[in-house]
Amino acid sequence: MLRSLPACFLVLALAFLARSSPVGNADQIPLLAADDSLGAVDYRNGELPPTENTEGWVDPRLNGGRFIDFTTRRLGEPLNIVISALSDPWVLEEPGFLEYSQSIGFAGECMGLHYGNIHNADLGDGLGRKGEHLLIRQHYFPVIGTCWESVRGGHHFRAWKQNGTLANSGAWFIGASKEKDSSNNHRIDEDGYNLGRDFFVERAIAGSHWQGKWWRAEIEWREGLMPRGRRGINHGIAVDGRVAILTVKRL
């Protein structure tokens, strides 16, 4: 009996280590949704609890949403830009937002045809997971510039309006990214989510114009609205966790 004690202790120690050690890379574990039966969101990767009393937008997480869309059941792409409802009212309307997008180098899809999957996002506005309102691509040159983006790759973004009864802010929530060319099946570039966000932001804060209208955006950087790293992110591409809150002013 005494001779078997060390072996028992060894077995117990190994069982404890197996229970307490993570399996694989924690960044690759899907992010738990707020309604997941396994428990609440894990805040160990830089995400903070929901933010209250924000001006011009409502934190989706207050009502069960999140700052990552749903590309699959668990994985998604970051909603890394918010156009605050304190912006110029014309920009908050769909035609005005399209004009503003053109002023910073984007336009509607090639020949009005949609390419790729429809992404869903829960903005915590009471409408649940809803499909993207707009998919906008980099406009390389006049007339067919977005067709070239579909072939060559480049920057694009999806946009959703926060307009449900639980959070009718009118803000635009944007998932921006940079993708590879068609020969690479439009996969997201390495660091493509951060690059896509920064491309949009740089043009917005530099100032822009379209058909006699001039705009310039003010920016506030927010951290803690989503996790850092690859946790919950489609394609396993890491993000820095920062969200740009833009207020677009008419000049």
230-244 residue pLDDT tens: 988 998 999 999 999
**Count of CB atoms situated within 10 Å of the CB of 112:** 7
38-48 residue pLDDT tens: 345 667 789 99
Over residues 144-149, mean pLDDT:
52
Is pLDDT larger for residue 57 or for residue 40? 57
User: Residue 1: its pLDDT value, please?
Assistant: 41
Give the CA angle between residues 152, 236, 243 to the nearest 5°: 80
User: Residue 139: its pLDDT value, please?
Assistant: 80
Using the predicted structure, report yes or no on whether residue 220 has a pLDDT greater than 70. Answer: yes
Which range among 72-86, 91-105, 115-129 shows the weakest confidence by mean pLDDT? Answer: 115-129
User: Residue 33: its pLDDT value, please?
Assistant: 43
Using the predicted structure, report yes or no on whether residue 111 has a pLDDT greater than 50. Answer: no
Confidence band of 65 (pLDDT split at 50, 70, 90) = very high
User: Residue 199: its pLDDT value, please?
Assistant: 96
Using the predicted structure, report yes or no on whether residue 21 has a pLDDT greater than 90. Answer: no
Mean pLDDT over the full length of the chain = 81
What spatial distance separates the first Cα and last Cα of the chain, rounded to whole Å? 86
Spell 193-222 as b/e; 16+ CB within 10 A means b: bbbbbbbbbebbbeebeeeebebebeeeeb
Residue with tokens 């997480």: 61
User: Residue 154: its pLDDT value, please?
Assistant: 84
**Above pLDDT 90, what percent of the chain?**
63
User: Residue 71: its pLDDT value, please?
Assistant: 93
Whole-model pTM: value is 0.80
Q: Distance between CA 223 and CA 201 in Å, rounded?
A: 16
Using the predicted structure, report yes or no on whether residue 185 has a pLDDT greater than 60. Answer: no
87: which DSSP letter?
S
Distances (CA, A) of 171 to 36, 89, 152, 210: 27, 10, 31, 21
